[in-house]
A = this chain, B = another copy of it.
């Protein structure tokens, strides 16, 4: 097994990339949310809740807001009664799919 192609640009540079990335898509729920939106497309708020039985109201809205402010998720609100809000991935959101695929593959290979 040869060494990786990854090279460090300067002192600590790559480490910072990893930490920056983790700060945006880390935690218990963000990758799962991104996966649902990436694989299945647009979802309403309560659809996402049903798809993630373990998540709480607070976590879902909080993580969606964080993902939106980081430009990974787009929030479309329709002023109807009852209210309707649809979430989808942005271009930047889709760009994390390779990470998701790599993790999914690794999870499959090691279980």
Interface residues of A, Cβ cutoff 8 Å to B: 1, 3-8, 12, 14-22, 26, 28, 31-32, 35, 38-39, 41, 52-53, 89, 91-92, 94-111
Query: Would B17 and A111 count as touching, CB distance under 8 A?
Result: yes
Q: Across the interface, name the chain B residue whose C-beta is closest to A41.
A: B3
Query: Which of B3, B8, B18, B31 contacts A18, CB < 8 Å?
Result: B31
Query: Would B3 and A39 count as touching, CB distance under 8 A?
Result: yes
* Residue numbers in B under 8 Å from A109 (CB-CB): 95
* Residue numbers in B under 8 Å from A105 (CB-CB): 98
CA of A8 to CA of B38 in the docked complex: distance in angstroms? 12
Query: Would B31 and A104 count as touching, CB distance under 8 A?
Result: no
Query: Which of B21, B31, B98 contacts A107, CB < 8 Å?
Result: B21
